[in-house]
């Protein structure tokens, strides 16, 4: 046998087999991952329920913890379902609770909120309502941000695998509204047909980066935004026309230009390509005009329940006005408007404020005013709102409110404060600060906005118990000024 023949028939070294561990799951973390212990080091395990005994494959061994994924379940929890509703579940790992029975998911989320409150002595006696279950646990997501990539020449439209930049192609996500899945399928097909380039994060080249899809479940219409690395009229316009022919429900197509090299999804420049500039939707009792980058809760039914709860808990009286901080496109403000003397909404995103103003006009409310700017800074100024301050509503980002914002609210002494939160930890932290500033927490109501995931929305009602003197808004805002 020749040397060349020997080289071609010699064995290629095989890839080392990943380590497998037999683990007992003690509890889950805030991301819905199972937690276990191996040789004194914590192990974070995907698809593992509390109390289960599993064999898990090690994905990564770090200095302080081990990441792993369940291979086999040796002793299953009674809360595990026999088969998940998604073929991409193990690859994508975005829906960490998909293998749980829904009743168990609700119990888990309730405990997470209770534990967050229990971390603060002043919140131990706060009444915690039973989690409001979602009537739709699949197909509920009305918006999606999908990554575009190529693997071995094939277009991929999906999600980043947890903790990586590896894109998992998702043909039919069970959490997405069906219209989102239809749009994604058509875009994927056309990307392959025309061989349109996808952005490569490693080499920092390629055109199409993300596909943003927003759906109005009420009217069964969609808005699509192609996020590109540069302006490109030809390819994006062709995609838009092809998409509208294949999916007539798409009534609005935009291009967003994101030339950055980081992980930010949306760039600063957005251009209308075809169709209407906005998407009209309805949530609860109001119609909403939404733009390509507008924020709106993904589960419309649960969002409507929250808006109505906020309105009921504010319980505005004759002559009372409301202050809505982090108001977005005005969904909560417009639910307060029918009973309010006046509503003032403050939002940092200027585009959201423009839409909020348009939404007030579209719904026929003349007693709403919206201001763009930093919430903390604006609370130091005279607020342009008349009447007596009856209620303040806050709906901050996941990190919660800045301490200065909470101080300013307390100095205004509103009769009622309603706090809408998407993170139990930051909510509990802020509630404890508000208690120290003279508020009493009357109740916390969890709302399951995100079935199949560990996330949980909460609405808290607080009453000011200090030496409350009903004051006009100008007087109240002056009190909030720093000395």
Q: Which CATH number do you get for residue 26?
A: 2.40.50.140
Strand order in the sheet with 53-61: 20-24, 53-61, 66-75, 41-46, 34-38, 27-28
Residues listed for the chain: 483
> End of a domain among 247, 279, 311?
279
Q: What is the pLDDT of residue 459?
A: 98
Q: Are 436 and 415 in contact (CB under 8 A)?
A: no
Q: What is the pLDDT of residue 98?
A: 96
**Distance (Å, whole) CA 115 – CA 123:** 10
Burial 195-215 (b: 16+ CB within 10 A, else e): ebbbbebeeeebbbbbbbbbb
> End of a domain among 279, 312, 336?
279
pLDDT tens for residues 376-410? Answer: 999 988 888 888 999 999 999 999 999 999 999 99
Answer yes or no: do 257 and 358 share one domain.
no
Answer yes or no: do 340 and 416 share one domain.
yes
**Distance (Å, whole) CA 211 – CA 226:** 5
Q: Parallel, antiparallel, or unpaired: how do β-strands 343-347 and 368-372 relate? A: parallel
**Distance (Å, whole) CA 40 – CA 56:** 17
Show the low-confidence residues of the chain (pLDDT under 50).
1, 3-10, 12, 467-483
Answer yes or no: do 268 and 324 share one domain.
no
The torsion defined by the Cα of 461, 467, 471 and 477, in degrees rounded to 10, comes to -80
The reply to whether 38 falls in a domain is yes
Answer yes or no: do 433 and 313 share one domain.
yes
**Distance (Å, whole) CA 90 – CA 215:** 26
Place of tokens 């509630």: 431
The reply to whether 241 falls in a domain is yes
Answer yes or no: do 307 and 272 share one domain.
no
> End of a domain among 225, 251, 279?
279
The reply to whether 89 falls in a domain is no
The reply to whether 138 falls in a domain is no
To the nearest 10 degrees (0 to 180), the angle between helices 424-436 and 102-118 is: 30
Answer yes or no: do 370 and 232 share one domain.
no
Tokens representing 368? 């709403």
Q: Which residues, 6+ apart, have CB-to-CB distance to 248 below 8 Å?
A: none
Residue 396, SS3? coil
Residue 323, SS3? strand
What is the number of structural domains in the chain?
3
User: CA triplet 322, 462, 116: central angle to 5 degrees?
Assistant: 130
Which domain, by its residues, includes 309?
122-133+299-479
SS3 content of the chain, % helix, strand, coil (to 5): 30, 30, 40
pTM above threshold 0.95: no
Q: Are 170 and 95 in contact (CB under 8 A)?
A: no
Q: Are 158 and 146 in contact (CB under 8 A)?
A: yes
**Distance (Å, whole) CA 279 – CA 344:** 24
Query: In this structure, what CATH number is given to the domain that contains residue 214?
Result: 2.40.50.1070
DSSP class of 393: E
Answer yes or no: do 129 and 195 share one domain.
no
Answer yes or no: do 233 and 382 share one domain.
no
Answer yes or no: do 162 and 50 share one domain.
no
The reply to whether 386 falls in a domain is yes
Which ranges of 93-203 does DSSP label H, i.e. alpha helix? Answer: 102-118, 178-194
Residue 473, SS3? helix
The reply to whether 309 falls in a domain is yes
Query: In this structure, what CATH number is given to the domain that contains residue 408?
Result: 3.40.50.150
**Distance (Å, whole) CA 400 – CA 403:** 9
pLDDT tens for residues 183-226? Answer: 999 999 999 998 889 998 888 888 999 999 999 999 999 999 99
Q: What are phi and psi of 388, to 5 degrees?
A: -95, 135
Q: Are 159 and 147 in contact (CB under 8 A)?
A: yes
Answer yes or no: do 389 and 473 share one domain.
yes
Answer yes or no: do 65 and 175 share one domain.
no
DSSP class of 208: E
Residue 426: CA count within 13 A, CB half-sphere: 19
Q: What is the pLDDT of residue 483?
A: 35
Answer yes or no: do 453 and 324 share one domain.
yes
Q: Which residues are catalytic?
A: 422
Listing DSSP states for 414-454 in one string gives -SEEEEEES-HHHHHHHHHHHHHTTEEEEEEEEE--STTSS
**Distance (Å, whole) CA 10 – CA 301:** 62
The reply to whether 351 falls in a domain is yes
**Distance (Å, whole) CA 381 – CA 387:** 17
Q: What is the pLDDT of residue 16?
A: 60
The reply to whether 289 falls in a domain is no
């Amino acid at each position: 046998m020749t040397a060349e023949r020997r080289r071609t028939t010699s064995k290629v070294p095989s890839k080392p087999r990943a380590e497998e561990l037999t683990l007992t799951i003690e509890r889950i973390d805030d991301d819905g991952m199972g937690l276990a212990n191996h040789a004194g080091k914590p192990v974070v395990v995907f698809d593992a329920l509390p109390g289960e005994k599993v064999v898990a494959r090690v994905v990564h061994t770090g200095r302080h913890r081990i990441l792993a994924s369940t291979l086999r379940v040796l002793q299953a929890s009674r809360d595990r379902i026999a088969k998940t509703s998604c073929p991409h579940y193990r690859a994508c790992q975005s829906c960490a609770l998909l293998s749980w029975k829904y009743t168990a998911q609700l119990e888990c989320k309730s405990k997470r909120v209770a534990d967050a409150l229990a971390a603060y002595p002043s919140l131990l006696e706060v009444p915690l309502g039973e989690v409001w279950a979602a009537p739709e646990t699949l197909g509920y997501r009305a918006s999606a941000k999908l990554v575009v990539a190529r693997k071995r020449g094939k277009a991929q439209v999906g999600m980043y695998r947890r903790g990586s930049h590896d894109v998992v192609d998702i043909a039919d996500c069970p959490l997405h509204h069906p219209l989102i899945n239809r749009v994604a399928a058509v875009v994927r097909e056309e990307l392959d047909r025309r061989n349109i380039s996808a952005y490569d994060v490693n080499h920092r080249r390629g055109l199409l980066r993300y596909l943003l899809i927003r759906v109005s479940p009420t009217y069964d219409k969609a808005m699509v935004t192609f996020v590109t690395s540069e302006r490109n009229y030809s390819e994006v316009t062709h995609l838009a026309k092809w998409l509208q022919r294949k999916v007539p429900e798409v009534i609005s197509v935009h291009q967003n230009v994101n030339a950055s090299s980081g992980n930010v999804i949306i760039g600063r420049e957005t251009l209308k390509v075809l169709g209407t500039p906005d998407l009209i939707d309805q949530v609860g009792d109001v119609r909403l005009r939404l733009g390509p980058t507008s924020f709106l809760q993904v589960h419309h039914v649960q969002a409507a329940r929250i808006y109505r709860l906020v309105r009921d808990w504010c319980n505005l009286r004759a002559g009372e006005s409301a202050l809505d901080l982090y108001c977005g496109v005005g969904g909560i403000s417009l639910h307060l408007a029918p009973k309010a003397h006046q509503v003032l909404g403050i939002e940092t995103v200027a585009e959201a404020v423009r839409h909020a103003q348009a939404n007030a006009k579209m719904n026929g409310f003349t007693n709403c005013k919206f201001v763009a700017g930093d919430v903390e800074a604006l609370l130091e100024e005279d607020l342009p709102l008349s009447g007596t301050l009856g209620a303040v509503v806050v709906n901050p980002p996941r990190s919660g409110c800045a301490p200065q914002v909470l101080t300013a609210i307390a100095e205004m002494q509103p009769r009622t404060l309603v706090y809408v939160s998407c993170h139990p930890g930051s909510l509990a932290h802020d509630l404890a600060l508000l208690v120290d500033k003279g508020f009493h927490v009357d109740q916390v109501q969890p709302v399951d906005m995100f079935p199949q995931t560990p996330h949980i929305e909460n609405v808290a009602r607080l009453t000011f118990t200090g030496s409350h003197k009903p004051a006009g808004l100008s007087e109240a805002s002056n009190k909030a000024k720093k000395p």
